[in-house]
Structure 1
Amino acid sequence: MNISRHSDLALRTLMLLAVGDRDGDRMTAGAIASSVNASPSHIAKIVSRLVSLEVIASRRGRGGGLQITDSGRATSVGELLRTLEGPGEAVECEGEQPCPLSGNCRLRHGFAQAREAFFATLDPLTVEDIVHSPTRQVLLTLEPRFAPSGDIDSR
């Protein structure tokens, strides 16, 4: 089972914010983009989505930046991925021409069950769970690092 690049970067964004959020520290979208080797515009779209889901908070201006929310820390990885990935199917059965098997295909049903099993496996994991050691130690070494609250400009 694959997840989209968008969902992958959303999880990485949350992980970075969860591990670095201490004493009110914040991180800019540009710093996140640099840390995960993604374009700033792609991270900006992801940040917008995560803010709308209320798993991160954004503050503009001096001392601004991004922080994970308490509900973001407690968010189920499976539920988050279901939301980010949407209701699509694991395999696109309908192309330009309708599939002659679509009404009677057990494989399509099997793929749907496999997709749900994938998400269900991740349901018990929270964002907080996935940033514990050894992941935490690796995340802390990524550049650029967090700036203390008040040291970030309004990028």
Structure 2
Amino acid sequence: MISQKAKYALRALVSLARTGRGETMMIGEISKEQSIPKKFLEQILLELKRAGYVASRRGRAGGYELLMAPERIMYGDVLRLIDGPIAPLPCLSKIAYRKCEDCREEASCEVRHVFERVTLATREVLDQTSLADSLRLEELPV
């Protein structure tokens, strides 16, 4: 399960992607549009700024803007930034691998085999879905 912080980060990025390239949004606008507590959003946007996803501008035309095209911002990258590895078991993590304490042998672990398939499928979707893709998906009928 993703954290509330990661969900808010993705929702804030989606709002900024809707505004268009070079356009800014004030933090209060994002907060209101996405129902994200303003103080929490400030922390999230600072983290996204440090990672190079957004920039902030001061003044009358100030606010936050995307630094990358929405097509280049992948859900998987944002989730890893905010929540860390995308893996339900530590033995399946690429960047934070750790052997499960209760496992005798990974190669024969039935639980690991099932969750390895889940992890690979999840990573594939998240690493191939951009903000732009998610904006197109909201236009499709359910």
Query: How far did residue 61 of structure 1 move?
Result: 2.5
Task: State the distance in 2 between where 1:54 and 1:130 align.
Answer: 20
Quick check: 1:17–1:68 contact (8 Å CA) kept in 2?
Answer: yes
Counterpart of 2:3, as a letter, is S
Counterpart of 1:57, as a letter, is A
Alignment TM-score, normalising by the size of structure 1: 0.68
Task: State the distance in 2 between where 1:73 and 1:30 align.
Answer: 25
Residue number in structure 1 paired with 2:37? 39
Task: State the distance in 1 between where 2:16 and 2:112 align.
Answer: 37
* Structure-2 change in CA distance of 1:65 and 1:41 (3 Å): same
* Structure-2 change in CA distance of 1:77 and 1:88 (3 Å): closer
Larger relative contact order (Cα-Cα within 8 Å, sequence gap ≥ 6): 1
Alignment partner of 1:124 is 2:123: no
Alignment TM-score, normalising by the size of structure 2: 0.73
Task: State the distance in 2 between where 1:100 and 1:76 align.
Answer: 32
Query: How far did residue 58 of structure 1 move?
Result: 0.8
Stretches of structure 2 lacking an aligned partner (at least 5 in a row): 91-99
Query: How far did residue 66 of structure 1 move?
Result: 0.5
Counterpart of 1:122, as a letter, is L
- Paired residues in the alignment total 129
Aligned residues with identical type, % of pairs: 28
The within-5 A match list for 1:1-155 is: 2-21=1-20, 24-71=22-69, 73-87=71-85, 89-90=87-88, 101-104=102-105, 106=109, 107-108=111-112, 110-111=114-115, 113-132=117-136, 134-135=138-139
Task: State the distance in 2 between where 1:55 and 1:133 align.
Answer: 21
Question: Deviation string for 1:61-112 (max 9, x for gaps)?
Answer: 33210011225541222222223220375258xxxxxx86244462256435
Question: Deviation string for 1:122-149 (max 9, x for gaps)?
Answer: 212211221126449xxxxxxxxxxxxx
